[in-house]
Amino acid sequence: MQDVTLTCPHCKTEHPHTLTPFIDLSRQQKQRLAILTDSLFSVTCPACKKQYTVLHELLVVDETTKMALMLIPNTEHEQVDGKVTGREDLDSYTLRLVNTTASLKEKLLIWEQGLDDRSIELSKLYLTLQLQEQDCQLFFTEQREDEDKLYFTVLDRDGSLKGSISCENGLYSQLQETASGFPMEHGYFIRVDRQWAEKSIRNSADR
Ligand SMILES: [Zn+2]
């Protein structure tokens, strides 16, 4: 926990607030919901009672699945050395860097459904190329076992909802083989997103 003083953007009142810079998902299940509903970053002003958002760096660790996510809002970094956490036990974890709360939520959903985020990124890239408007963002939503499909939400560049799109599980499995061949630097929180997918494909074509 981290105590800070915030200034309400609505009424300009300064007030104390406690940020949560670390979450252990295997022990704090309630925080999972707080991430998925954005309430983790939502602050209610004690003076005017209005809500506002405070984004901050966050480390989310899941000891059960050995996954760790680092949120650094708006960072352009492609990777961050795992040593910054001061936790040697994370050495054996899958480490990912995210720069938006949307991608933080997406990673949680991907991992919870036992999927591989690298193959998901490749699937998204493949699906994006089929779209008329390619300047959009895809976010994984769910895996439907009965249909044998993966579903994604489509947002335009401004973040407005455009609809949803799906792909066969078969495509994902096929791309999983490709993704597992891409080199990943050990001990680093890596930002696995569209940029990563495009770069990895370019690099593998050059080899
Ligand atoms: Zn206020």
Distance, in Å, from the CA atom of 58 to the CA atom of 71, rounded to the nearest integer, reads 5
CA of 54 to the centre of ligand 1 (A): 13
CA of 47 to the centre of ligand 1 (A): 5
CA of 37 to the centre of ligand 1 (A): 22
Pairing state between β 161-168 and 188-190: unpaired
Pairing state between β 79-81 and 188-190: antiparallel
CA 198 remoteness from chain centre: 18
CA of 52 to the centre of ligand 1 (A): 9
pLDDT, tens only, 156-185 = 988 899 999 999 999 999 999 999 999 899
CA of 43 to the centre of ligand 1 (A): 10
Enumerate residues 6+ apart whose C-beta is below 8 A from 132.
none
Residues around ligand 1, an ion, CB closer than 5 A? 8, 10-11, 13, 45, 47-48
pLDDT, tens only, 49-100 = 999 999 999 999 999 889 999 999 999 999 999 999 999 899 899 999 999 9
CA of 2 to the centre of ligand 1 (A): 21
Question: What number of other Cβ atoms are within 10 A of residue 145's Cβ?
Answer: 9
Q: State the pTM of this model.
A: 0.93
pLDDT, tens only, 100-149 = 999 999 999 999 999 999 999 999 999 999 888 888 999 999 999 999 99
pLDDT, tens only, 11-54 = 999 999 999 999 999 898 899 999 999 999 999 999 999 999 99
The identity of residue 131, as a single letter, is L
Coil, helix or strand at residue 203: helix
Confidence label for 207 from pLDDT (cuts 50, 70 and 90): low
CA of 42 to the centre of ligand 1 (A): 13
CA of 190 to the centre of ligand 1 (A): 37
Longest dimension (CA), the chain: 60
Distance, in Å, from the CA atom of 59 to the CA atom of 24, rounded to the nearest integer, reads 8
CA of 8 to the centre of ligand 1 (A): 5
Distance, in Å, from the CA atom of 35 to the CA atom of 13, rounded to the nearest integer, reads 26
Enumerate residues 6+ apart whose C-beta is below 8 A from 116.
110, 176, 179, 180
Q: What are phi and psi of 27, to 5 degrees?
A: -110, -20
* Average pLDDT of every residue of the chain: 94
